[in-house]
Amino acid sequence: MSTNIQELKNTFEKANQGHASLVEQLSQINPERLNLLFKNATSPESGNEHPIEPLTDSQFDSVLENNKDQVNKWENTGLEAIARGEVGAILLAGGQGTRLGSSDPKGCYDIGLPSHKSLFQIQAERIARLQHLAQIKYSRQINIPWYIMTSKPTSAPTQDFFKKNNFFGLDPKNVIFFNQGTLPCLSKDGKILLEDKSNITMAPDGHGGIYPALRLTGMLQDMEKRGIKYLYAYCVDNCLVKVCDPVFMGYCISKGSDFGAKVIPKSHPKEGLGVICNRGSKLTVIEYSELSDELAYKTNAKGRLSFNSGSICNHFYTLGFLNKMEQIEKSLKYHVAHKKVKCVDLNTDKVIKPSEPNGIKLESF
């Protein structure tokens, strides 16, 4: 978009967003796209007439139901890929620990273990341990590049935390930081909110922002140069994660999959966990709040929950798949998150710190 002030003014006034007039930020925003995202996110759902159906047996495998020899084969396939330097990890770490009572990045948080280790340290040590195990098995130097997606508010403190802790023993060259994108926060009627008279209120664009972020920050090219073929992506607020789990990686590689999702069985029908299921001809994730009691308690012929594939945001990607994501980024649906957003009252020019949700953040998943 042109940085010519008059052109910017005309563009935003045409989109009925003329109240925002901050040139530097506005030059990075497409108001027509923003309006379209808001309209689509706030419009009633359409095209979801198909009922949701459980996964079929042919759509997944389970380490709980396969024999040890098969699980070992998957594990060895994963370890071989790691030993060849073909595996990398992607960490989604753009969130702050506000719900944990902290303004620090979530990964810096002390979750109350006797060791007082942070989430970042726990995950770094698991990467180091996996490198060590593969190194012993294959007698070669092994590195697993760790790509850490931060956001504007978490980028600097995250990098400072790693430097302060000497990257938890990992080689700094193999810990790569990049930022996810942001979108303006909006009022309930779709108007851009101002944080103060000099800044638009911006927020990270959700986990789905990983796809354009990897492309726009040069991470995909970096992966290509390193010879990486397979990626393991996960969220920072998971203290039990098996980073680059060789069994899961090996399973997906052996199946020739471009994309895979690691799931866990639900502990009970009403557990607050989204489930992967079928809708028409497509796979989808249904939030637990969208699953009726009838479906939540439904069981199959084996007496197990029909909707039992709990989504834990642990994913497998091939680099080829990630390179193709640009073609379908525009089809990613954005969702509305109602939040308390500090903003300027345009009538009084005073900054409002609301006690109730007053704004909208648009997020893709």
Tens digits of per-residue pLDDT, 219-255? 999 999 999 999 999 999 999 999 999 999 999 999 9
The answer to whether residue 277 sits within a structural domain is no
The answer to whether residue 290 sits within a structural domain is no
Residue 36 and residue 231: Cα distance in Å, rounded? 32
- Is 256 in the same domain as 143? yes
Per-residue b or e along 208-245, where b marks 16 or more CB atoms closer than 10 Å to that residue's CB: bbbbbbbbebebbebbeebebbbbbbbbbbbeebbbbb
Positive/negative CA dihedral, 348, 354, 360, 365: positive
Residue 1 clears pLDDT 50, i.e. is over it: no
244 contact partners, CB below 8 Å, separation of at least 6: 78, 82, 87, 89, 127, 130, 144, 232
Q: What is the CA radius of gyration of the chain?
A: 22
- Is 180 in the same domain as 106? yes
Residue 58: how many CB atoms within 10 A of its CB? Answer: 6
- Is 246 in the same domain as 124? yes
The answer to whether residue 134 sits within a structural domain is yes
- Is 8 in the same domain as 138? no
Tens digits of per-residue pLDDT, 153-191? 899 999 999 999 999 999 999 999 999 988 999 999 999
Greater pLDDT, 71 or 328: 71
| DSSP, residue by residue, 287-334 | -GGGS-HHHHT-B-TTSSBSS-EEEEEEEEEEHHHHHHGGGTGGGPPE
pTM equals 0.85
- Is 31 in the same domain as 150? no
pLDDT at position 18 is 63
pLDDT above 90 coverage of the chain, percent: 64
Closest CA to 100 of 114, 79, 76, 119: 119
pLDDT above 70 coverage of the chain, percent: 93
Residue 113 and residue 289: Cα distance in Å, rounded? 31
Tens digits of per-residue pLDDT, 139-156? 999 999 999 999 988 999
Average pLDDT, stretch 352-359? 90
pLDDT at position 184 is 93
- Is 322 in the same domain as 358? yes
SS3 4: coil
Residue 188: how many CB atoms within 10 A of its CB? Answer: 12
- Is 39 in the same domain as 70? no
The answer to whether residue 296 sits within a structural domain is no
Closest CA to 38 of 180, 202, 185: 185
- Is 102 in the same domain as 12? no
- Is 79 in the same domain as 11? no
**pLDDT band at 68; cut points 50, 70, 90:** very high
pLDDT at position 339 is 87
**Domain encompassing residue 106:** 66-262+313-364
Q: What average pLDDT is seen over the chain?
A: 90
What angle, 0 to 180 degrees and rounded to 10, lies between the N-to-C axes of helices 152-164 and 119-138? 60
Average pLDDT, stretch 258-272? 95
Number of domains in the chain: 2
The answer to whether residue 300 sits within a structural domain is no
